[in-house]
Amino acid sequence: MDEYTIIIEESADEGIRIDKYLAGYNPEKSRSYYQKAIDSGFVLVNGKNVKSKYQTRLGDEIVVSVEPVKEIDIVPEDIPIEILYEDDDVIVVNKSKGMVVHPAPGHYSGTLVNALMYHCKDSLSGINGEIRPGIVHRIDMNTTGSLLVCKNDKAHNNIAAQIKAHSVNRIYKGIVVGNFKDEEGIIDAPIGRNPKDRKKMAVVSDGRSAVTHYKVLEQYKGFSYVKFKLETGRTHQIRVHMSSIGHPLLGDDVYGKPVKNLSGQTLHAQTLGFIQPTTGNYVEVNAPLPEYFESLLNKYRAMT
């Protein structure tokens, strides 16, 4: 048996039935699976057996014994990718809509990592393991645009430090539902796991600090074209923040409403600026808007 340990460190993870918490932590396994594991003594909390109804507490150390994970062979694939910038340390690609960044259950091929392994050969950082070589940050499957990948561990550590310090310049463009009274604003609202659905994020009082600056570029009948600048980089940050103020991203089928013939949110990571790890020079890359995005803008402009 293999073991992994979870420490309850955030108050958002407190007060949840342990079987429900574990199923949310690892969606690959069902709640009933963890109930059986708990009943069989394969889950210990602070070194002791508990029942499924046990509620998590801050500081809990949960040790889960599981069947060994089958080794997954992640193979290079000759998948076309658009390279926006490349040097010996990093590569910035323009991720297409619908492409998963790294392998995960249900997506072990056709990912950006598969494509990068073919393009970069053995030149990808290994810090995030075999499943996520080179990946230092992510964007959602249906978000397009600039994604920075590291070719070696030194570059990975350097870029990760820049991201942690919030010094990487990240600007997004998106189309949201509704119109604004004010042309610009700041959303300063903490984000954490949605207490009612742990597969989603939400604005919660005890979440992690999250700050999004927005500026309205154009307004149409019922829709707005908006620029976003991130101070922080929480999971689904722009999507959650815009939904929280009543302006979900167009097509967002998680935090808004799905749109026919549109695959997920209309969001594009346009600008990515960072300090090159070796030279210390500032590098800024801009990904052009995808064709579907431009077509939507032209459609709404024609309607005004």
Task: Point out the residues that are catalytic.
Answer: 140
Assign 209 to helix, strand or coil: coil
The phi, psi pair for 255, rounded to 5°, reads: -110, 5
Helix (H, G, I), strand (E, B) or coil at 189: coil
Look at the chain and count its residues.
304
Q: How far apart are CA 235 and CA 232, in angstroms?
A: 10
> Token digits for 24?
């949310």
Q: Return d(Cα 177, Cα 246) in angstroms, integer.
A: 8
CA dist 285 and 85 (Å) reads: 7
CA 260, CA 262: separation in Å to the nearest integer?
Answer: 5
Distance CA 292, CA 137 (A): 24
Burial 133-160 (b: 16+ CB within 10 A, else e): bbbbbbbbbbbbbbbbbbbbeebbebbb
Burial of 12 (0-12, 13-18, 19+ CB in 10 A): buried
Q: Helix H segments across 101-172?
A: 112-120, 153-164
- For 94-113, b/e burial (b = at least 16 CB within 10 A) is bbebebbbbbeeeebeebbb
The C-alpha atoms of residue 43 and residue 37 are separated, in whole angstroms, by 6
Answer whether 227's CB lies under 8 Å from 218's CB. Answer: no
